[in-house]
Chains A and B, each alone.
Chain A
Amino acid sequence: MNYETIIGIEIHCELKTKTKMFSSAPNSFAAQPNTQVSPVDMAFPGTLPTVNKKAVEYAIMASTALGLTIDDTLIFDRKNYFYSDLPKGYQITQQQRPIGRDGSLEITIGGQKKTIRIERLHMEEDTAKQLHFNDYTLIDYNRCGVPLIEIVSHPDIRSGEEAAAYVEKLRSILLYTGVSDVKMEEGSMRCDVNVSLRPEGSKKFGVKTEIKNLNSIANVRRAVDYEVERQKQILLSGGKISPETRRFDETSKQTVLMRKKTSAVDYKYFTEPNIVPIHLSADWIKKIKDNLPELPDARKERYRQMGLNDYDAEVLVVDKDFSDFFEEVVVVCQQPKLAANWMISSVQAVLNKLGTSDLGSLKFGPAQLGQLIKMLDVGKVSSKQAKELFEDLVLTGKDPELLAKEKNMVQISDDKQILAWVKEVLEKNPQAIETYKNGRTNILGFLVGQVLKLSQGKANPALVSQLLKEEIEK
């Protein structure tokens, strides 16, 4: 029997606000444990939540970027349960009225576009971080109360590849809005994937399992692929899928059981009475929407209009820092196509070698690369020289003009000098002129080579070619 894979994804993102969701304690990732804590975060009796306006603004930005409709009344709910990482005994979240509803994003799989619908985006607070040891647990309340948005997709995803593409696209969009660091490895973006199978043609959903805490986009794909295969084998051998929470084990590349999902927990949701409903004015929402930074799809379109092809545009926008770097290069060299080639081949190769995506680890900046491309473009250096210079740039980060001067490799574009070399070569090769005049014009390449050789590689090839033609055809 053939099975259809059904996947829905829930993503939690920490917002980059200065303070927490409901308290004035700082929101910072790397601080000493239990130093970024207010009485509100510890749920000391009598403390009350106050809503962080910036977090609401960020949630509206994220919602807008994902095409969600904004609810203009802000209402929070309590999700009640006892856990050692939950100081109040409840989490403040948005159950009934998420701030954003009904949006979507587009992924591209093998050149084919596919729309994944997004059900909701809601705001909530993070729990404390627990460090488990053999016979005790330590609790770090720094993370407690950090603002989160949770983004829930419809079950529109059909494969591990699509799942990874969805997470990557979502990550890229959020990165462009600037509301979150979206670092999966640091936990500022967390991904839970629900996977189930159903016989092809069936309308009913099968029993799903949830894979929690995937720490990279590559692992999203690996985990889903593994889980789909695991479920398929069980179903094919006549077994049943049991509803459970699983995690992805990186060493074995398998999903492993965390806990069985027993009868659904009742969280006893009810409206948070300490926060009266807040009306969000249309003006304020509009202002936030109008100030939304450019998103990846819009940027891609702009790149196409700059003359880049689909592939280059796509590759450039995925990582916002990479794309921003590219734009600064273009500002200096004014040659988008050339700049794109250098970014995608040369710069990416350097980053790969360094094993990082952090452009800050490069010794040179966009201005220097732009300068180098410009030198190439105006014929100051040949492309062979430019490549050599780039290698020096990577090693030293020095000004390319300076590097070229040091290497004495500035290209000669002086008409008189080149003409002298051209004449010298033509005098030595009279038969070549005949050949050319008889129609075999490709002999020109040989002649250009001779001139360059004479100039020790410094003559501007385009100029050489032009002057050669003029001399022969005189």
Chain B
Amino acid sequence: MSYLDLSIEEIHKALVAKQVLPSELVSEAYDRAQKYQKDLNAFVSFRIQALKEAQNLDGKEITNPLFGIPYAMKDNYSVKGELSTGSSNILKDYYPVYDATVVKKLKEAGAVSIGKTVLDELGLGGTGTNGNTGVVKNPWAIERISGGSSAGSAAAVSAGIVPFAIGSDTGDSVRKPAAYCGCVGFKPSWGRISRFGLFPFATSLDHVAYFTRTVKDAAYLLENLAGKDPKDMTCSIKPVEQYVEKLNPELKGKKLAIIKSINESLGNPLVRTNFEQVLLKLKEAGVEIIEEDIDMRLLKAIYPIYMVISSSEATSNNANLDGIKFGPREKGTDFLDSIIKTRTVGFSELVKRRFVFGGYCLAKENQKELLLRAQKIRRLIVNEVQRILAKCEAIFLPATGSIAPKFTEKNDEKLSVAYLIGENHLAIGNFAGLPSLTLPSGFVDGLPVGVNIMGKAFEEQEVLNISLGIETLLARYKGQIAKRGGE
């Protein structure tokens, strides 16, 4: 067994006890990343300088639980002087001049990035199949998707390359791949972690989020990443709490809500069975479950309004990618011709489709009917969730409606309830900016599945506590790493 297979907490203990050195950890993580690259394709780029950086940490005083811990970073964060592509051809040679706040905080904590991971181009997409460097494979079964858009980060944690990885979550881009890959995925409240330096997809829905192997590790990371940032006006000034110290797995007396129509919409009955089993365990542990519901018309609207709002914001947010200031530039007869050609070759079909759709939703003649209406429905859904949250500590949800699909599976049923609700309900957490954590809850057909806890805004502690309680109940899935072919 390697120290790398452990949690941040356990590795930290070993580092403090001088049983292992940062350089040994980073070197092994780097080797594993290289070794699995052919199978998984989780990385866009590797940081050879990580080895040197880790050596410099050897023997230094350990000041932080993240000190000397190797990690991976989704390639949609700005890292000064290092290739940051957004998995898009339009940024294939882009070397930023500044560090994202998250990158800066991790550097200051002494964590060492071993590389940048693949995403669905610019964060648009949920499969990990739309990055410009190829598809990301699920470490549990390489014929299956890892989920996206934080595909490479999910795969890297799941495969045991790193104990944590940074992702981003606009619809469910961390919490769904976490379920498919059998790890913990946490998206804190909108405004809890600074977005400065995160390549924007849809501003009002974008969250910094991350993968860990345990709930406690998620608390360690939150303590290090959260907090006000003068560079992000939407970032809250609420003080950062002592999440780790205040962790408490006691479930007895907690009140959790379930949402009937969501649970009944899951496409795979075995996934539902898994959810029901966990629900039973929660009841046994003394959790009071209240059954709530949301109008099906609202739930069915989640996916369409997500597409309208996110595409509208995305088309404007990405209008800076024109080849004039950075990135590859195509020659044209004038600047507009050059911009058109640059963007035509720079974006994939999926991204272009969404930008065109977003532009259509923003157009003067359509905006009221599409964007403004979507925003109203978003408000109605948020009101419903707040109504339910007022009665309980958090909402208990299935993380997905199915296990990770095969690359060959085609989902032609985009208007089915199983897709519209069962595969998209986690976006509620983005609509309302709520803290939402996915953790492993077992296996279906040999593949990991997960459950999700969605709490009140800025009540991360409650979400972490309940999640820790569930993790304790489901102890055998805690800290699991994908079995790799032949190992």
Contacts and interface: CB of A to CB of B under 8 A. Distances in A.
Interface string B305-340: 000000011001011111011100000000110010
Interface string B444-482: 000000000000000000000000000000000000000
A89 B355 CA distance: 13
Given A46-B100, A48-B196, A276-B234, A270 B367 contact: yes
A275 B335 CA distance: 30
A137 interface: yes
B230 interface: yes
Nearest to B235: A48
A273 interface: yes
Given A46-B100, A46-B195, A270-B367, 13 more contacts: A42-B325, A45-B86, A45-B96, A46-B96, A47-B196, A48-B233, A50-B233, A80-B319, A82-B336, A266-B363, A268-B362, A268-B367, A270-B371
A268 B324 contact: no
Contact of A87 (B97, B197, B313, B320): B320
Contact of B198 (A46, A50, A83, A88): A46
Contacts of B231: 48, 50
A42 B324 CA distance: 10
Contacts of A90: 316, 319
B320 A78 contact: no
A46 B320 contact: no
Interface string A33-52: 00000010011111111110
B204 A48 contact: no
B319 A89 contact: yes
Contacts of A346: none
Contacts of B322: 82, 89
B196 to A, nearest CB: 5
A84 interface: yes
B359 A268 contact: yes
A319 to B, nearest CB: 39
Contact of B233 (A137, A270, A276): A276
A46 B199 contact: yes
B362 A270 contact: yes
B326 to A, nearest CB: 7
Q: Ordered nearest first, which 7 A-B pairs have the shortest CB separation?
A: A89-B319, A273-B203, A268-B362, A43-B320, A84-B335, A46-B197, A46-B78
B199 A45 contact: yes
Contacts of B77: 46
A165 B421 CA distance: 64
Interface residues of A, number: 29
A274 interface: yes
Nearest to B327: A45
Nearest to A266: B364
Interface in B222-264: 230-234
B412 to A, nearest CB: 32
A47 B320 CA distance: 11
B91 interface: yes
Residue from A137, A268, A274, A276 whose CB has the most chain B CB atoms within 10 Å: A268
B321 A45 contact: yes
A241 to B, nearest CB: 25
A276 B200 CA distance: 16
26 contacts: A43-B320, A44-B97, A44-B325, A44-B326, A45-B91, A46-B78, A46-B100, A46-B199, A47-B98, A48-B196, A48-B231, A48-B233, A48-B234, A78-B316, A80-B316, A80-B319, A82-B319, A90-B319, A137-B335, A266-B364, A270-B312, A270-B367, A274-B234, A275-B233, A275-B234, A276-B233
Residue from B84, B86, B100, B335 whose CB has the most chain A CB atoms within 10 Å: B335
Contacts of B359: 268
A69 B105 CA distance: 43
Contact of B97 (A39, A137, A266, A270): A39
Interface in A271-293: 273-276
A229 to B, nearest CB: 35
A466 to B, nearest CB: 74
Interface in A19-42: 39, 42
Interface of B: 77-78, 84, 86, 91, 94, 96-98, 100, 195-200, 203-204, 230-234, 312-313, 316, 318-322, 324-326, 335-336, 339, 359, 362-364, 367, 371
A82 B320 CA distance: 9
Contacts of B96: 39, 44-46
A51 B231 CA distance: 10
A270 B366 CA distance: 12
Contacts of A39: 96-98
Given A46-B200, A268-B364, A82 B316 contact: no
B203 A274 contact: yes
Contacts of A82: 319, 322, 336, 339
Residue from A50, A51, A89, A90 whose CB has the most chain B CB atoms within 10 Å: A89
A186 B216 CA distance: 60
Given A46-B100, A87-B325, A51 B233 contact: yes
A42 to B, nearest CB: 5
Nearest to B312: A270
Nearest to B321: A45
Contacts of B199: 45-46
B79 to A, nearest CB: 10
Contacts of B198: 46
B319 A273 contact: no
A268 B363 contact: yes
Given A45-B86, A46-B77, A46-B100, A87 B324 contact: yes
Interface string A81-97: 01110011110000000
B319 A88 contact: yes
B320 A89 contact: yes
A268 B311 CA distance: 13
A50 B230 contact: yes
A168 to B, nearest CB: 36
A22 B53 CA distance: 35
A17 to B, nearest CB: 17
Contacts of A46: 77-78, 96, 100, 195-200
Contacts of A44: 78, 96-98, 320, 325-326
A43 B78 CA distance: 12
Interface string A324-346: 00000000000000000000000
A341 B203 CA distance: 62
A101 to B, nearest CB: 22
B78 A45 contact: yes
A202 B105 CA distance: 67
Residue from A83, A88, A270 whose CB has the most chain B CB atoms within 10 Å: A270
Interface in A309-364: none
Residue from B232, B319, B362 whose CB has the most chain A CB atoms within 10 Å: B319
Contacts of A87: 320, 324-325
A52 to B, nearest CB: 11
A186 to B, nearest CB: 26
Contact of B313 (A43, A45, A266, A273): A273
A351 to B, nearest CB: 45
Contacts of A51: 233
Contacts of B203: 273-274
